[in-house]
Amino acid sequence: MDSVDLEVIKAAVSWTEAGRGATIGTVTRTWGSAPRPVGAMLVIRDDGHVVGSVSGGCVEDDLIAKVKSHRLASGKPETVTYGVTEEDARRYGLPCGGTLQIVLEPLGKGAKLRELLEAIERHELVARFLDLDTGAVRLQPGNWSDALEFDDRVLKTVHGPRWRLLVIGAGQTSRYLAQMAMALDYHVTVCDPREEYAEEWDVAGATLVRGYPDDAVVAMNPDPHLAVVAVTHDPKLDDAALLEALKAPCFYVGALGSKKNNDARRRRLAGFDLAEAEIARLHGPVGLKIGAKTPPEIAVAILAEMTAVRRGVTIGDTLVQPASDFAPSSCAVQQG
């Protein structure tokens, strides 16, 4: 889930446990150029304080006024639609033709938000079901393939880290990569069979596995919500993971190292049972070309490219190309 939406749940728990009234709004459908995606959330306190966003425009102001005055969702969940006409789009600050549907849920004792928040903080994936007729809520374990569903009677929302990242190597770059990825709501697993690295790993929230990298990839049951990034510089470890990841439906597979090293890596991979199209999926050198040299800069470059791939953004050829490759031992990120 979006980190902004996690803040919504935290605020809702804090306010309701302090005895304040609160209403959660969730975007359930969009048409046209809607400014926020399906699943975006906000919570409005009984005095009009708000956390989160469903439009980034005047929709929030209208919602706050109507929730405060009990004109919307005063006793049970309610559905509201904004921007059906061009006049509404202009009035509520929506992009031309943009329309969004929002479910508003007044939070009562049965909202189960504390249980939901605790599960999210344990890095669990949770499906929450809201019955609009009764206001009843139930929680159940979620699946990686789950998505928001709404049939005008029951709203199913999915909470927790739906995206996963497997990092091969527990070195310094991995520390920054894991920390930043968790801030982006990835569930992070780090694999390193090397004792001298694994025993120093202490990043809270990131799972450490000590097995061999190819086994770690298989154990993750790879799907289109998984990214695999190899950063050890040891072909025995990195290539083993890449062989499995490139055959799987991972949305992103990357390897640290210079263009020269990654060209050699591709030649090695071609000697195994990988098709040319599978090898072409490798992002190596990994990350966007932003001139990254330090471990935190490298982590930023990697996560920026992962985000672009997730969002379906094609990185153009307008970026400045380097004068030459980095030395094979360099950890700097390049885009080949």
For residue 326, what pLDDT is reported?
35
Q: Is the pTM of this model over 0.75?
A: no
Q: What parts of the chain have a pLDDT lower than 50?
A: 317-336
Q: What is the DSSP string of 125-193?
A: -EEEEEETTT--EEEEE--TT---EE-SSEEEEEES--EEEEEE--SHHHHHHHHHHHHTTEEEEEE--
Q: How far apart are CA 187 and CA 162, in angstroms?
A: 7
Asked if residues 264 and 287 have their Cβ atoms less than 8 Å apart, the reply is no
Residues 6+ apart with CB under 8 A from 263: 336
Report the greatest alpha carbon distance in the chain.
69
Asked if residues 141 and 120 have their Cβ atoms less than 8 Å apart, the reply is no
**What pLDDT, in 10s, does the model give residues 265-312?**
999 999 998 999 999 999 999 999 999 999 999 999 999 999 999 888
> 163-310: what fold?
Rossmann fold (3.40.50)
Q: Beta strand pairing status for 154-159 and 126-131?
A: antiparallel
Q: How far apart are CA 110 and CA 106, in angstroms?
A: 11
For residue 5, what pLDDT is reported?
79
Query: What are the residue ranges spanned by the domains of the chain?
Result: 3-159, 163-310
**What pLDDT, in 10s, does the model give residues 124-141?**
889 999 999 999 999 999
Instruction: Go through 203-226 and write b for each residue having 16 or more CB atoms within 10 A of its CB, e for each that does not.
Output: beebebbeeebbebbeebebeebb
Asked if residues 67 and 82 have their Cβ atoms less than 8 Å apart, the reply is no
For residue 2, what pLDDT is reported?
56
